[in-house]
Structure 1
Amino acid sequence: MANSIRFFLNGQKQDVTVRPDTTVLEWLRLGPRLTGTKEGCAEGDCGACSVLLGDVSNGEIRYHAANSCIMTMGQIDGRALVTVEGLKGETLHPIQAAMAENGSSQCGFCTPGIVISLAGLAASGGQADDHAIHDALAGNLCRCTGYRPIVEAARKVMGEGGASIPGPAVAAFAEVEPAQQIAASGAMFHQPRTLDDLLQLRHEKPRAVLLAGGTDLGVALADFHGDWGEVISTAHVRELRDIGETPTHLSFGAAVTWEEVLAHVAPLYPSFATLIRRFGSTQIRSMGTIGGNIGTASPIGDGPPALIALGVEIELASLDGTRAMPLEDFFLDYRKTELKPDEVIASLRIPKPAAGQDFRVYKISKRYDQDISTVCGAFSVVREDGIVRSARIAFGGMAAIPKRVREAEAALVGRPINEETTRASAAAIRDALSPLSDWRGSAEYRSQVAANLAERFRRDLAGEVVEVMAL
């Protein structure tokens, strides 16, 4: 058992004794006084708190941007942390220099986070196209400068081949091997390495906080300044980090991040890839996990409607063994699921596209990027000679749990997708769903929009839909 957290901060080894549930942002500003990292929203949305996290993968250190406001100190154990102060060596980092030369900053509050996000892109060897740049900036808000000079600075650096991140050598990571337990100031942070160890801990400590990426749970921690006396992290469980592929399925351990999921599903389901990019910025996707998105059982979680429409099956595990079920059967009520106190989500399987299959998922929100869904609708059909042989339709953001709409599916099966069958499917959607009213939209609005998505799906398959930036 360790009493301290070991990691690299701007290239220097650290051995810090602090409660492991302290947010990284709080420690950075109050401990080493690295105040370039700012607090804006404290919800992982504005990007002012962005830092770079480095991990060793395939013999090299790979960095990605993350939100320090919703990340705990326990989560950086064994990793490399880079703040905006750490980018500058004897000279400015190329992104810093380009931002300064191009007049890409006014008040400067958001600038450190923007520099960090673009430095992460530059280090990844990403392409210099605007799509990659805008994706890297999607989690950073700037209210003063406007994005044109920021994007121009990014283009300049990416056009010159990017830039590396200063930091420790790969071999040095052996000095900060993550501890299996960290205890400090009355808090305990467990980091099991195997599924068996995780299940034993879950059996012994069913009331401990089960922490995956923390992109949902971390918001409550930061907003309400609460304490987590005991945490079980899934980040280092080997089985939960596995990614597998068969001729018919992709399989993901529950601790696989959305960024990793995106890389595998994008070639198979481009519409799903667009959704993943929209509901999570680079900072969120690099930390948030597919299992956590399911397990938190948020009624506005965007992953479940798409996964239900794809026919995903999840596997739950405990010391008593494993059990599998269709994802639509997992959700019971608001924040209530089939998961027992001593169980964890172990993995899920996503079927690969079948012959004749079309899949689309539509997110309706007030803001295009990183916003809460008012309605999220997913449609999957398999057609043969123009006739629908099978269909799966699911909606989220409407009520307490995501729901599969079998009545709407039945209106399509055995028929072609035309105006008549689409009207019948839309009517079934209106009849089957009982949406709520809140600040995002009224029940009547949600019902109408959900039904309209059936028509959008028809027009999409006919090649009539033009993608827009906001709805």
Structure 2
Amino acid sequence: MALRFVCDGELVELDGVAPGDTVLDFLRGRASKTGTKEGCGEGDCGACTVLVGTPVPGADRLDWRAVNACIQFLPMLHGKAVLTVDGLGDSLTPLQQTMACNGASQCGFCTPGFVMSLRGRAMGAAGCDLPVGDVLAGNLCRCTGYGPLLDAGAQHPPAERDDAPLLAMLRRAAGPACGHATLPDGRTARWFIPDNADALATLLAQYPGARIVAGATDVGLWVTKKLVDLETVIFVGDVPELGVIDDGAEGLTLGGAVRYADAHAALAQLSPELGELVRRLGGLQVRNAGTVGGNIANGSPIGDGPPALIALGATLTLRSVRGRRTMPLEDFFIAYGRQDRAADEFVESVFVPRPGAQDVVHISKLSKRFDSDISAVCGAFRLTVEQGTITAARVAFGGMAATPRRAPLAEAALTGAPFTAATMAAAAAAIRADFAPLSDVRGSAAYRLEAAGNLVWRLWHQAQGQAVRVQEVALG
């Protein structure tokens, strides 16, 4: 079955597409749309930003979102519309005119990405109900300065949109899809896009070695940086059952393919601390593609989501043709590069219990810059305090071990103790015995141990009303 999508208002049908072919390479190569620039090749700079529109079931509109074309795989466009800076037309749009009049472009290399991010904001795209600075956090400029760019974004009025013509074309591109191509070494690479969870489970049983890809914010770098040729890929980002967000009385259930931008509001309602963490998870383009389940399934020791979810007591449900099994999230991570997931299983959902009125929740991310950066240390705490005594404690860290992990000695120092400065001091000291972190470019082992202990004190001062949260502290 041919890959079908709409690009700048024209229906595209392609055969011979490999699972690792990127949207950026297609645009700049086959489509000759060179306005979309190639910068970092890893989803950090935003020069390749495009808008992707997905039909909303039961509604006559598209769900638009800005994404990085460099780490989006071409099959992920099946049944969708993509809008590039070339598709805005030959004459300047009001947004582009505003940027020009505000001096918001110098060398111009980054400008197409800024234009598309701001175009998404003007269209009311996903994740754009944030301040303009947050919307542009995934776009980097090295010569203009952000003042004129922020001013241009703030001045631009909403843009009109008419999704009807695109929807009419996309009806011809609906449904499940699959394809194959021959790799340079002669192997056959194949990809599948199931349209429901049962079909996904069946495919995984048939191809247990297949790579599962939801948003490609991690696997995309394997292709662009490590030059990996993906052989068999199952794209799960649009499986309906995996996109469910169920905010219930006991807690929040998130399907494995729920994108962080879509989960942001529900997570912030569950815990403002969690909402603040998600706001700093990559740039908007990354949150528009990256998923809660993917952030867990890749097993990264520095992923931002897992430590916070572990501290909140989250459970994980895996599914296969053999059935389902549920486990505490911390039990999923066995060792570096090893997770408790069979080859035919996929992450179906995550359940996050709702914190109680007596719970103190604190989550801190430490990184070299505030926006769009990888954690050096991420610490998360959930303490239940009753009549001045800590009756239960869950403490988890990322960046401190080979996996996201709880701090059992710190938890023991907290549990049953009075909620006092002396108890915080004991917990901070215990963390040094809980972990033996490594040194890398993000921080030395000594720094990580010191910082992790200091996060206990940050929790304490925040609980006492002595810490003013001016965003988070970004360490230089």
TM-score (norm 1): 0.95
Q: Deviations over 1:293-350 (max 9, x none)?
A: 0000011111110000010000111222111100011101111010111111111101
Sequence identity, in percent?
44
Matches within 5 A, 1:432-443: 432-443=434-445
Q: Deviations over 1:182-236 (max 9, x none)?
A: 2344432111122221112111211111111110011111113332121111123
1:256·1:290 contact (CA, 8 Å) conserved in 2? yes
| Number of the residue aligned with 1:107 | 107
Q: Deviations over 1:392-430 (max 9, x none)?
A: 110011121011112212222233322100001111111
Q: CA deviation at 1:165?
A: 4.7
Q: CA deviation at 1:88?
A: 2.9
2:126·2:261 contact (CA, 8 Å) conserved in 1? no
| Number of the residue aligned with 1:287 | 289
Q: CA deviation at 1:263?
A: 1.8
The alignment partner of 1:415 has SS state of coil
| Number of the residue aligned with 2:344 | 342
| Number of the residue aligned with 1:155 | 154
| Number of the residue aligned with 1:61 | 62
Of the structure 1 ranges 36-45 and 201-210, higher mean CA displacement relative to structure 2 is found in 201-210
The alignment partner of 2:51 has SS state of strand
Matches within 5 A, 1:44-443: 44-57=43-56, 58-88=59-89, 91-124=91-124, 132-157=131-156, 160=157, 162-165=158-161, 168-185=165-182, 186-443=188-445
1:94·1:163 contact (CA, 8 Å) conserved in 2? no
Q: Distance in 2 between matches of 1:170 and 1:385?
A: 58
Q: CA deviation at 1:127?
A: 11
Q: Distance in 1 between matches of 2:238 and 2:155?
A: 37
Q: Distance in 1 between matches of 2:166 and 2:464?
A: 53
2:126·2:262 contact (CA, 8 Å) conserved in 1? no
Aligned to 1:11, which of 9, 27, 47?
9
Of the structure 1 ranges 56-65 and 30-39, higher mean CA displacement relative to structure 2 is found in 56-65
The alignment partner of 2:397 has SS state of strand
Q: Distance in 2 between matches of 1:128 and 1:151?
A: 14
* Residue 446 of structure 2 is aligned to residue 444 of structure 1: yes
Letter in 2 for 1:117: S
CA RMSD in angstroms comes to 1.8
Q: Distance in 1 between matches of 2:18 and 2:347?
A: 27
Q: Distance in 1 between matches of 2:127 and 2:263?
A: 20
1:279·1:302 contact (CA, 8 Å) conserved in 2? yes
2:428·2:454 contact (CA, 8 Å) conserved in 1? yes
Q: Distance in 1 between matches of 2:95 and 2:360?
A: 41
Q: Distance in 2 between matches of 1:164 and 1:121?
A: 12
Q: Which runs of 5+ in 1 are unaligned?
A: none
| Number of the residue aligned with 2:185 | none
Q: CA deviation at 1:358?
A: 2.0
* Residue 449 of structure 2 is aligned to residue 453 of structure 1: no
The alignment partner of 1:54 has SS state of strand
The alignment partner of 2:289 has SS state of coil
Q: CA deviation at 1:166?
A: 6.3
1:362·1:376 contact (CA, 8 Å) conserved in 2? yes
**Distance of aligned partners of 1:302 and 1:469 in 2 relative to their CA distance in 1, 3 Å threshold:** same
Q: Distance in 1 between matches of 2:288 and 2:89?
A: 24
Q: Distance in 2 between matches of 1:104 and 1:278?
A: 24
